[in-house]
Chains A and B, each alone.
Chain A
């Protein structure tokens, strides 16, 4: 640890009148040997993670190389690359593309919704209002995922709350028009891609607000004053100073929205049109079909996509804003 004491270890033993018990001697020894202390501290977590998690993860990816016999429904340990090759078949590629598009659009839309909230929190709210905003963002974030998803099935139901409000505001024609659009539409709100998109955006929104708020919080006010002193209008300051400096926060938030959407399989099951998502595909392959090798191969897709995404946002400074 540090110099003052450890440079003179003899100082410890210069009180012969105090009897030293085992506990004291052990703690002194540890303090004087930081390497030993480090080793002792790290061993339990490393053992746990190494044996429980990392080993399982590697074993899973290895399973992707095993062969699944479609007729006997049995897995043999013959190594093959065909599972990974199958990912590029049109049907599977569709699943990947569908999930990827949803993850990207959810990230974009939540950034748009989150920005004003984060901006207001960071720059205008103070004292009690700020604390209120903080808790008001944090509580929905920590609220049970399944309860939030369930709430949306109530909201989007045919006789449910959202239709009642839309009716009240005389917006039914607008909704019908939206639902008639190819790609995002569907028969009802709860079986449309639009509905699924709303649920995803809702569930991950707090994960976007907090990193943006943190990055705006670090923005020095003097910078904004300098900008306006130099003649920039508020709009120009926003466009050329505030927005670029909040990019790391947005990128950091998008890590969560992107990766969480990419791996989800509960929301696609509850809301939206038929057609599998990456997560649902893994679940189906593993559970109902029992094709563990294919399920394992499919888990590689989110891992690769997320790694690529992380590499991109790292360049935008996302890791400094986490």
Chain B
């Protein structure tokens, strides 16, 4: 962090232009989706749009397949987040301070499911499920999502563990609290917001994940797969646009909340995916 006492000359106009230009580039396609969701045309990509309407929203929300896809994705994300919260927090509690034999390998193992391309994780899981005779479906999607969401929770919680000073725990014990009380009244309140932030991000990741899902989904159609299938259906473009916009808004909410929950800390949730 730079200290404010030091005088730094303002940014050159070129730097400003490049920085704001970069942001514009990041948001332009998102704005385009938002505009097209209100497009009056039924099956064209022509720009600028000929007119604006909100009728596609009600059309989309009356479609049974859309509602089913949203419902399925929400359920999967909830279950996967719960499992990831438990496993990620346990791992973080074990890993935050002590060094022990194999610690580095465990860290690598936790990161591997998102560090390796999704296609490898997906294919490996599909293969594994087949080997134990588990039919691909909602359960296998949840297992897959939980596996790569663990590291998201882990990262958030372990950062908070590192910031919670050990002396706080010792003080609590010295003042006569037992181990359970220290956990309940000192550790848990400290971890709470980090767990919540990690959970939100895990939820957002699970809600959107496509590549691992295509391998583990079987005949199920969660939202990302529904969207992928829509791309080959040009007649359905208005509905696709609306759902795309809704999906985007749906992930922005948990991610923004996670940011607000942790922005005072030195490591902000969501800075790594």
| Residues of A near any B CB (own CB < 8 A) | 1-2, 4-5, 12, 15, 20, 23-24, 26-28, 30-31, 34, 38, 41-42, 44-46, 48-49, 52-57, 59-60, 63, 113-114, 116-117, 119-121, 123-124, 126, 131, 133-148, 150-155, 157-161, 164, 202, 205-207, 209-210, 214, 217, 221, 225, 255-256, 259-260, 262-266, 270, 279, 282-283, 286, 292, 295-296, 299, 302-303, 306, 322
The distance from the CB of B273 to the nearest CB of chain A, in whole angstroms, is 6
Assembly CA distance A160 to B117 (angstroms): 31
| Residues of B near any A CB (own CB < 8 A) | 1-4, 6, 8, 10-11, 15-16, 18-19, 22-23, 25-30, 32-33, 36, 44-48, 86-88, 90-91, 93-94, 97-98, 100, 106, 109-110, 112-113, 115-121, 123-125, 127-129, 131, 143, 146-147, 150, 166, 169-170, 173-174, 176, 178-180, 182-183, 201, 204-205, 207-211, 224, 227-228, 231, 240, 244, 247-248, 251-252, 255-256, 259, 263, 268, 270-273
Q: Is the CB of B36 within 8 A of A154?
A: yes
Contacts A24-B180, A295-B123 given; does A150 touch B231 at CB 8 Å: yes
Residues of chain B within 8 A (CB-CB) of A225 are 6
List 14 additional contacts besides A2-B170, A57-B112; criterion CB under 8 Å.
A44-B87, A44-B90, A48-B150, A52-B125, A113-B22, A116-B18, A117-B22, A140-B27, A145-B209, A145-B211, A151-B32, A154-B32, A202-B26, A210-B272
Residues of chain A within 8 A (CB-CB) of B271 are 138, 210, 214
Assembly CA distance A148 to B118 (angstroms): 17
Q: Is the interface of B mostly helix, strand, loop or mixed?
A: helix
Residues of chain B within 8 A (CB-CB) of A113 are 22, 25
Complex: chain A residue closest to B92, CB-CB: A41
Residues of chain A within 8 A (CB-CB) of B93 are 41
Complex: chain A residue closest to B252, CB-CB: A139
Residues of chain A within 8 A (CB-CB) of B255 are 138-139, 142
Contacts A4-B170, A150-B240, A150-B244 given; does A143 touch B252 at CB 8 Å: yes
